[in-house]
């Protein structure tokens, strides 16, 4: 096994949730990218982070963005997760979207939403770390199972 594969496998042992990061394009469309590198960072000030691959087609779109929304996916949103992980337009249909008080585009049915102003972009190897300052947060009112990712595949709660 080569070193790259060994490292990927080791990273993949860390089970995570799955989020879609949404932004609004200059034309007003809602774009989404599936990500599992999301992490909460700080409560005071309220900061979160996630990482964008340098070779992503979405690099230019995120470079021009000033805000993003983190949508924490439910187990029922696997299809949407797959759709927003395909190279291409990354456009979300209006039927999936609602607008928050901060004007950010949120995915309906997500477990939680975090409306963020981009606080910092940090170059880090083959990714850019996006730090967001959370300006709005909400949670699903009824408990819903999360979408999980483990060893390179979706997983359920044991």
Ligand X SMILES: Cc1cc2nc3c(=O)[nH]c(=O)nc-3n(C[C@H](O)[C@H](O)[C@H](O)COP(=O)(O)O)c2cc1C
- By the criterion CB under 6 A, which residues form the site for ligand X? 18, 33-37, 51-53, 56-58, 85, 87, 90, 149
- Minimum distance, C-beta of residue 142 to ligand X, in the bound complex (Å): 25
Residue given tokens 């599992």 in the structure block:
36
Q: Is 103 left (phi over 0), alpha (psi -120 to 50) or beta?
A: left
- Minimum distance, C-beta of residue 88 to ligand X, in the bound complex (Å): 6
Q: Which is nearer to ligand X, 91 or 98 (CB)?
A: 91
- Minimum distance, C-beta of residue 75 to ligand X, in the bound complex (Å): 13
12: which 2 tokens?
A: 């993949």
- Minimum distance, C-beta of residue 24 to ligand X, in the bound complex (Å): 17
d(CA 147, CA 61): 26
Q: Which is nearer to ligand X, 99 or 151 (CB)?
A: 151
Cβ distance 41 to 48 under 8 Å? yes
Q: Which is nearer to ligand X, 57 or 99 (CB)?
A: 57
According to the 3-state scheme, what is the secondary structure of 43-95? CCCCEEEEEEECCCCCHHHHHCCCEEEEEECEHHHHHHHHHCCCCCCCECCHH
Q: Which is nearer to ligand X, 54 or 99 (CB)?
A: 54
3 Cα distance to chain centroid: 27
- Minimum distance, C-beta of residue 141 to ligand X, in the bound complex (Å): 26
Q: Which is nearer to ligand X, 103 or 122 (CB)?
A: 122
């Amino acid at each position: 096994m080569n070193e790259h594969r060994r490292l990927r496998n080791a990273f993949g042992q860390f089970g995570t949730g799955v989020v879609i990061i949404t932004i609004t394009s200059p034309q007003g469309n809602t774009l989404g990218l599936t990500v599992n590198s999301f992490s909460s960072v700080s409560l005071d000030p309220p900061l979160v982070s996630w990482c964008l691959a340098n070779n992503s087609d979405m690099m230019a779109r995120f470079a021009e963005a000033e805000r993003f929304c983190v949508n924490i996916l439910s187990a029922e949103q696997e299809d949407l997760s797959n759709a927003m992980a395909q190279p291409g337009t990354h456009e979300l249909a209006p039927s999936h979207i609602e607008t928050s008080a901060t004007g950010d585009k949120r995915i309906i049915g997500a477990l939680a939403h975090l409306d963020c102003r981009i606080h910092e972009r940090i170059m880090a190897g083959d990714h850019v770390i996006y730090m967001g300052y959370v300006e709005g947060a909400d949670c699903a009112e009824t408990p819903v199972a999360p979408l999980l990712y483990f060893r390179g595949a979706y997983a359920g709660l044991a």
